Structure 1
Amino acid sequence: MKPVVSIMHAWSCIVISVFAIVILSVLGALFNANHHSLMDSNDDPEDGTVVAGTAFAAVGVYGFFLVFCGLQAWLHARESRRGAIAL
Structure 2
Amino acid sequence: MKPVVSAFNAWTCIVISVFAIIILSAIGSMFANNHHSMMGSDEDPESGSAVAAAVFGAVGVYGVFLLFCASQAFLHQRQSRQGEIALR
TM range (shorter): over 0.9
1:22-37 pair list within 5 angstroms: 22-37=22-37
For 2:4, the equivalent position in structure 1 comes to 4
How many residue pairs align between the two structures? 87
Q: Which AA in structure 2 matches 1:84?
A: E
Q: Which ranges of structure 2 fall in alignment gaps of 5 or more residues? A: none
Query: Within 1, Cα distance between the matches of 2:33 and 2:72?
Result: 36
Q: Which ranges of structure 1 fall in alignment gaps of 5 or more residues? A: none
Question: What do residues 22-69 of structure 1 show as CA deviations (whole Å, max 9, x unaligned)?
Answer: 000000000000000110111110100000000100000000000000
Q: Which runs of 4+ in 1 moved over 2 A?
A: none
Give, in angstroms, the shift of residue 86 of structure 1.
Answer: 1.4
Are positions 1:19 and 2:19 aligned together? yes
SS of the residue 1:34 aligns to: coil
Query: Within 2, Cα distance between the matches of 1:55 and 1:32?
Result: 10
TM-score, normalised on structure 2?
Answer: 0.97
Question: What do residues 65-86 of structure 1 show as CA deviations (whole Å, max 9, x unaligned)?
Answer: 0000000000000000000101
Give, in angstroms, the shift of residue 16 of structure 1.
Answer: 0.2
